[in-house]
Amino acid sequence: MEYSYIKALHIIFVVCWFAALFYIVRLFIYSTEAQLKDEQSRLILTPQFLLMQRKLWYIIGWPSFIGTFVFGSWMLYENPGLLSQPWMWIKLILVGLLAIYHIECQRILKKQSEGQFLYSSFKLRLFNELATVFLVAIVFLAVVKSQNGLLWGLLGLIAFAAVLMVGVTVYKKNREKQNLKETKNAGASGTNDFSK
């Protein structure tokens, strides 16, 4: 097979893999938040989110993970000179860490399917941003392929991660304020109904 076709298939599987990684953690968040709802809502939402998790993970997530590694390895086999470049080794380390992230998603999926919701939605939101950090770092390295630009890329990545963390924290605070406001409004509404 021509190298450009192998590369194209590798990129397609990478895109699908990241789509699965981004969405699976969102489903973990929705499943976790469903546990805070009333019993009727929880009994409807939880099985639906768990079904969506399984379908996404086993139809898109794992096949994309495997395809990424098969075609990525094939590219290295066809072009072993890539392994002489420092940026490639850093990229491979990041891909290895992303594989660990994938395995952790598998563990969370298993726990949630067993009815164990171990992480808060806030912690899952932070965990979700980690995939974005990996995406930025890996794409940057694959495109720039420069040792000089690597330092700036890593500094930019750290700054990007910091902005993401601030954004998630601000979101959490705004959400808590909104929930408090809704609770107060519901309480005031309930008091008014009772007084009638």
pLDDT in tens, the chain (196 residues): 799 999 999 999 999 999 999 999 999 999 999 999 999 999 999 999 999 999 999 999 999 999 999 999 999 999 999 999 988 998 999 999 999 999 999 999 999 999 999 999 989 998 998 898 888 888 888 888 765 556 666 677 778 778 877 887 888 788 788 878 877 776 666 555 444 4
The alpha carbon dihedral of 59, 64, 65, 69 has a sign of positive
Residue numbers of the domain that contains 134: 3-195
Could you give the number of structural domains in the chain?
Answer: 1
pLDDT at 146: 66
Measured distance CA(37)–CA(51) in Å, rounded: 18
pLDDT at 151: 67
Could you tell me the two tokens for 133? 């950090």
Measured distance CA(52)–CA(46) in Å, rounded: 10
Please count the helices (runs of H) and the strands (runs of E) in the chain. 6, 0
Do 10 and 127 touch, CB atoms closer than 8 A?
no
Amino acid type, 7? K
pLDDT at 195: 45
What is the pTM for the complete model shown? 0.79
pLDDT at 141: 82
Measured distance CA(125)–CA(168) in Å, rounded: 7
Measured distance CA(86)–CA(182) in Å, rounded: 53
Do 85 and 77 touch, CB atoms closer than 8 A?
no
Closest to 118 measured CA to CA, from 103, 107, 131 = 107
